Structures are given as C-alpha cells and as structure tokens.
Amino acid sequence: MWVPLLVLLGAAWAFSMGVTLWVICSEFFTADIPAAISHPGRLWVLHCLFQLSVTWGTIFEKLGICSMPQFLSFLNDLPSVKQDPDVVIKDLRFGTIPVKLYQPKMSSCTPRRGVLFYHGGGTITGSLKSYQDICCRLSKESDSVVVAVGYRKAPKHKFPTPMRDCLVATVHFLRSLHLYGVDPARVVVCGDSVGGAMAAAACQNLLDRSDLPKIRAQILIYAVIQVVNFQLPSYQQNANVPLLSKNFAFHCFSHYLDIHPSWKNVIMKGAQLPVEVWEKYRKWLGSENIPERFKKRGYQEVRPGPHNEDAYLETHHALDVVNMPLIAEDDVVSRLPEACIVSCEYDLLRDDSLLYKKRLEDLGVPVTWHHMEDGFHGVFSLLSLTYFQMPCSMRILNAMVHFLKGL
C-alpha cells in the first residue's frame, strides 16, 4: 500500500523539480535584467518566482483545477498583512463593490484629503489585501482618507466590468464624503498600472457631472494609457524586462478585452488598425512624440503591417476611450485636473506615460512628472514585500505623498 504512494510522491517531487529547473534555465536566457537596477539579484529571484507561479497556474488550468489568474491571485494574497496602530481600516461595500477605507487614527480639526486608489495587476492579479500595506502607508504619511476599490477582475469579468465597478465606487464615495470627513475640494484619484488607467478614465468620465464634487487631481503610476501601438521605443527596449514582459502584457490585454490569443502577431504589428484610423490617432500615438533621449538604448521605426479587417472587427473595442484615455477629444483633456505622473525607465509601458504627459501639457494641464531611472514595471507594488523592496519603491511613495500634501 505504501509503495504506490511513495512512487506517486516521488514522481510528483521529480516533476516539480523539473518544472522549477525548466523555468530557471529558460528565464536565464530570455529575461533582461537591466544593470542599472538597484538590486538585480533580488529582481532576478522575484522574476523566477513569478514565472514559476505563472507556469504552475498554467498547468493547473490545463488540468481543470483552476485558471492561471485565479492561482496568481491566490498566491498574491498569501503573505500576511501588518496592521498599523495609527491607521483605522474598515472593510465596506459601496453598493455591491468591496472597498477598504483607511483613516488616520489621530483626529483632525479640518476635513482631510480623499484618495480613491485603484490597484494594478493587469486586471488579473492584485487585490485589496495585496495593496493594504501600500494604502495604509499612503493614508498615514499623507494624512489622507484613502479608499481602495476592489473591482471585479478578468478573466471572469471582462471589459467594461472592472472600469464600471471603479466608476460606481467613485460616485458612491463622492456622494458621501461628509461621512468620512473628506474635503470635497480635495479628492484625488490614483492608481498604478491598469489602476492608473482606471484613474485617468474616471477623471474623464466624471468631468461633466455637475451633481458631484470635482476631482482635484490625478496620480498615475506607470499607467496603461493606450493599447494599440506596441512598437513604441519602450516596447522594443523593455520587451523582456521583469515584471511585465510584452508576452505577459498581451496575456492580460487579451483576457480583459476578450480578444483571442491568435491575433497576437497581428496586433503587435499594428495591422489591426485601418490606415485612416492610425493616421487619425498618430498625432498622439506616434513615436515622434517621444523625446529623443528615450530612444538612445535602441529603437527602430516600424510601420504598421498590412491591414487585417477581421482583426479590426474583433478588436476595435480597444479604441474605446475608457481603454485609451490618450485619444480623448481636446475639449475633454484640456479640462482635466492637474496630474502627477510617474514613469520608469525599464518599463514596457514607459512611453504611455510620456505620451500622456505631452498630451496634457500641450493642452495646458499642469503636470508633475517623476521619472525613475532605475525603475521597472510593478516596482511600486513591492513596497508590501519586505524582502523584495527597492529604493525606487519608496521614492515613488514619497513623490505621491509630497504631491498630495501640496494640494
């Protein structure tokens, strides 16, 4: 009886070791760890752990146990969360949407700033729990009331559900600011990665709501601002830099927008866009809008491939302004509140931030810009992982706090 069990356990152990060795060896030849990163060894270990998680998630998905995103979310929420005695945390629901409310315990004689925080994770990872330490520190250090929104995620909940959840929660909060001691004149939307896209879209969507307090400012941390031009300099330079490779970015993109993976090569070449559509938006999306200093690490201009009409029919909803804050009309962008934009040099999405920064500035919107020369995508979220924190992570938090205190 014990022999078959021991054989099974031995086979499982051997398979696990084989998967681990395969991931480590394959990433050794494909991952690009920039020398300018403060702790390259730390990033390498983190990257291997992440890729191993993705691999096991894919295996479990093939076996019908759970989806890969579900497995990543499960692992994401495993680390214990520290409690800060100086911050009161409440689990609430705005309608059906779960949120976490963070309030400094020390009383205030005047209403505080309110910060709506939308977490990153490509709409398939990230959660209220995994960002609790970050939101807690943001609330404490900026003396603000922070509300983190637990929007529903892909692949179960696709576009436009996550964005709609964020808007519903935002409207609910704006209507009840007095309950939380928030100054209606100092409400800020904030997010990292896809959460930054949510923040930018929320600003635009609520611009003409006369029944609600106006958004005072927006904080966009390496935000996703466009999803059609994948040939920008940063996409070429940082295609294999952890923690967001071009392949994984497309994986998130296809899950959220419900686009079949078979269109990957067409989309990456820009062949899904008709010529007239590309020319219409090129003035905002083209690489000529990127400063020359960001092309020095290597960049080759690539013209969109021959148009594929079938691909366009299946992917044209990516051009919805909710997914593409960059292409909003001038009348909308020119009336947006001031922005604090954080970009990272070794980030696949670096140029999204640069394009939006230029668009805002060209239309007279004040922009405070912080560029992290040693930064990479996802570095801000490492604040909650003690052993993987980077100096850059704290600098981003400090920049956010400084900006908030100036409002």
DSSP 262: G
User: Which residue is catalytic, options 133, 351, 377, 381?
Assistant: 377
Half-sphere exposure of 20 (CA within 13 A, CB side): 8
Three-state SS letters, 120-178? CCCCCCCCCCCCHHHHHHHHHHHCEEEEEECCCCCCCCCCCHHHHHHHHHHHHHHHCHH
Decide if 136 contacts 89 (C-beta within 8 A). Answer: yes
Choose, from 130, 142, 193, 381, the residue flagged as catalytic: 193
Residue 260 DSSP label: -
- Concerning whether 119 is annotated as a catalytic residue, the answer is no
Q: Do 223 and 192 contact (CB within 8 A), yes or no?
A: yes
Which residues partner with 348 through β-bridges?
A: none
Q: List the catalytic residue out of 133, 165, 192, 347.
A: 347
What residues have CB less than 8 Å from 30, skipping those under 6 apart? 240
Cα distances (Å, whole numbers) of residue 40 to 33, 157, 210? 6, 35, 49
Give catalytic status of residue 347 as yes or no.
yes
Q: Which two tokens stand for residue 172?
A: 């609910």
Q: Is 377 a catalytic residue?
A: yes
Distance CA 193, CA 119 (A): 8
Reading the block at residue 368, the tokens are 């405070």
- The Cα 214–Cα 188 span in angstroms is 9
Which residues form the catalytic set? Answer: 193, 347, 377
